[in-house]
Structure 1
Amino acid sequence: MIPPGLMISAPASGTGKTTLMLGLLAAFRARGVEVQPFKGGPDYIDPAFHTAASGRASFNLDSWSMERARIDGLHGNAEGADLILAEGSMGLFDGVAIPGECGNGASADIAAMMGWPVVLVLDASGAAQSVAATALGFARMRDDVTLAGVVLNRVASPRHEALIRAGMASVGIDVLGVLPRRTDLELPERHLGLVQAGEQENLPELLAQAAEFVAEHVDLDALRAAARGGGQGAEVPSAVTPPGQRIALAQDNAFAFVYPHLLAGWRAAGAEVLPFSPLADEAPDPHADVCWIPGGYPELHAGRLSAATTYREGLRAFAETRPVHGECGGYMALGAGLVDKDGTRHEMAGLLGLETSFAKRKFHLGYRRATLAAPIPGAPAGALLRGHEFHYATIVEEPDTPLAVITDSNGLAVPETGTWRAMPGGGRVSGTFFHLIAGGTA
C-alpha cells in the first residue's frame, strides 16, 4: 500500500519550507514514523538532505520533464512507509509558460496528480491579518489543489500570532504550526542553493535541532491526519536505460549532481555503479565500460582538479577506447580549461576544447529539450532528452562538434548545444550543460 501524503510548499522561495521539511522528516523519524520524502521539480541538492533526515532515499517528481508513468512509478518508492512528505520548489504554482509532459513543472501539478493536500508555509514577518488573504488566494487558485492548512513562519510575538490566527479563522483556514523567528537553524547557501549535504559536518546536529524546533511548534498529529492520497501500489517504474553495464561515476564534493531516480534506474536495469573521486586523485575504474561525470562545483576545486594527475591521466587513458560523458560541471571538467572567479585559469582534462569562465558570471537557468545529433552513453543519435540547466559559467569557447539541437521550455533555440569528439582509439567524449532527467517524445 502507498501511504497518504502532503505537499510542503510556499508562495515563494526563501520562506522556510526546507527548514520545515527537514524538521518534519527528522521529528517524525524520532517518533518512529516512516516518512517517504520527495522533491517537486528539478532540484538535485535537497533530496540528499531529505535522505539524511528521513533515512529513506528521496526522489524528484517533475511534471514538465517526466511522463505520468515515470511519476507513478517513482511514487511507488513510498511502498511500506507510513506517510509521504513532498517538498515543492519555488512558489506552489510557479512553473514555465508552456506545459511539458504532464504539466508546467509547478509543485501544484504534482500535488493535484497525487491527491496530496498542500501545507503552505507563510512568512508572517511584516504583516498580520493580511497573511490570511495570501492563504485564501492560494486555497482558491486551482480547484484540483486542496489546502490542508498553513504553518506560519518568522512570527514575532504571541500578539502577532493571535492577530494572524484571527485572520485565518475568519477565512476558515487551519493553522497547523507557528514557528517563531530563529536564525540559527538556517542552512548555509551558495549560488545554486543550499551548500551540499555532504559538505556540512554538523548536519546531524542541525537536523536534531530542526526536529526539536518543529516538534515544539507544529501540531504533528494534526498535520499527519491531514494527509490524503495513497492507496494501492503504483505502476512499475518506467525503465531507465543505463549508459553502460559498468559505470564509472565521479562522486565527491566537486561532482555530486546526479538525480537519484537515474541512479536507482541504472541499478534496477542491472548496471553496476563504480564511484571514484577526482578530488581524491582517483581515476575511473579501468574495468568500467563507460565513465559519467555529473555536475557539481568544479569551479570551487579547480586547483585540486588541475593538480590531480592520476585522475586526469587515468581519465584520458579511459577515454581513448571507451565513452565518457559529462553534465554541466562535468562537461566543464572535460574541457581544456576553467577560469575561476579570481581570473585564474586552471587546466582541465583537455578531452574537449571547451573553455569556461567564472570571472564574469552569466546566469543560465531553465528546462532543456535536446534532440541528439550524435549518440551519448545510453541514448542514440536522434533521441529526445529532457533536462534542466542551472549554472553561472560564461562559455569562452565551445569548438567541438555540436552534440544536439537544444531548445528551452518555450521552444526557443539554446546556443549551448553541448559538444562531442571522437578519440583515436575508438572512444568518444561528449558533454552537455543540462542535467538529464528523462527521455521522451517530440
Structure 2
Amino acid sequence: MLERISDKFSDIFRQLSGKATISEKNIQDAVEEIKVALLEADVNLRVVRRFVNRTIEEAKGEAVLKAVNPGQQFVKIVNDKIVQLLGDEHQDLELKGPDALSSILMMGLQGSGKTTTSAKLGLRLKKEGRRVLLVAADLVRPAAVDQLKVLGKQVDLEVFSLEKEKDPVKLVGEAKKYAIKSSFNTMIVDTSGRLHLDEEMMKQIVDIKRVLDPQEQLFVADSMTGQEAVTIAKSFDEQVGISGVVLTKFDSDTRGGAALSLKSVTGKPIKYVGVGEKPEDLDPFYPERIASRILGMGDVVSLVEKAQETIDLEEAAALQEKMISATFTLEDYLESFARMRKMGSVQSLLEMIPGAKGAISEDDIDEKEMKKEEAIILSMTIVERRNHRIIGPSRRKRIAKGSGSSVAEVNRLIKRFEKMRLMMKKVSKNKKYQAKLMQNLGV
C-alpha cells in the first residue's frame, strides 16, 4: 500500500536526519524532492504546487531553522500538510437514527467495484447494529444482480430485486416501500456504471436520487486509476452531487495520487477504502493514519484495531498466561497463523509498525516458509502438537514425509519454536524488556 511514495519520503527524511541544523537550501532541496515524489505519485499538479508553496513558507520560519531538532520539526510540517491534503480528519457516514430509514446511493464507473463495495459496506453497518437492505439497481451490466445476491448471501444480508422490472428508478421506488414496510433502517443502492461518463447514466442516477432522497451519495473509484478517478469524481459531483468517496483496491495502490488529490480537487472526503477481497476488507479512512504510513511512521492504532477485531479478549488472556508459564504449544502456534491471516498479509501488518518499514525488507518475510511450517505442524498428531518434546527421530521422519518437507526442516521448526517460547516468557515477565522492545520498534 502506497509503497512507492512512502519509499521516496523515507529517503528524503533520511537525508535530513542527523543534521545539527537545517539551512534554507536544505529545505529547498528537500521540498524539490518531495515535489518530484508527489508528481511521480500522479498527484494533481495544482495540488502539488499548493502543497510545495505552503510547506516552503512554513519550513523557512525561524522556529524550524532554530529548533532543537529541526529535522523532526520539518517532518512534522510535511506530515501536517499531507494530513490536510487527505482531508484533516475522518468523517463518518451521516445517517438517521435507528428508527428511521437512511439511504445510501452508490455511484461510479463500471469496474470500479461498486457492487462488491455495497456488500462490504452493508456488512460493516450490520456489525454496527443497523438493519441493512441491499438493492440491486444495476440493470445494465450482465449478472450484476446475481453478483449482489451471491455477495448478500455471503454477508447474510437481504437483497431486493425485481426480475421483470427494467426501469431502475421504479425498482428503487419499490425497494424503498419494501424497506419501510419490513423495518429496515438502512438501504444501500447499487447503481449502473458505464465504461465512460455519458448523459444517459447521469440522468438515470439523478432520477434515482430524486426518488431515493439519500442521506449519503458515495462515489466509488478505483484508486489505481490515479488522476482519472479524481476527474471522474469531479464530474459526478458537478452533475449529481457526492457526499463522499470510497477508494477500492487501496491495498494495491503503490502511488497514492487519487487519495492525495481527491479532497483538494472535489472538496469531498474519502470515507472508506477497500483493502482486500474479503467481505470485511473495507476500512474507515483516517487521514492522519494514512499520512503516517506514507511517511514511513507506521499506524499502530489501525494495527491494534485489527487485532481487537480478530482476537477474543478471553483468548488473549489465556494466551498471555501460556506465554508466562511457558506452556505455549505448537497447537497454539498453528492457531496464530489463522489469526494473522485474518488481520491481513504479513507485509501489510509490518507497514503499520513504526520503524519496521525500511528496517525489515520484503525479502526478510518469507510467507512461503510460514505455509511450510503450517504444513509441518498439520502433519503432527494432536499429542505431538501439545507436547513437542516427544517428537523423536522416527516421528520427525514421519512428519517430514507427511508434510512434503525434510527432517532438517522439521528440526529447524522445532528449534525455532523452542527459542520463541523462551523469548515469549522473557518478554511477558520482564517489563523493562517490553519497554526496550517497544523502543526498538520506535513506539
- TM-score for both structures, normalised by structure 2: 0.27
* Structure with larger Rg: 2
Which structure dedicates a bigger proportion of its chain to helix? 2
- TM-score for both structures, normalised by structure 1: 0.27
Which structure dedicates a bigger proportion of its chain to strand? 1
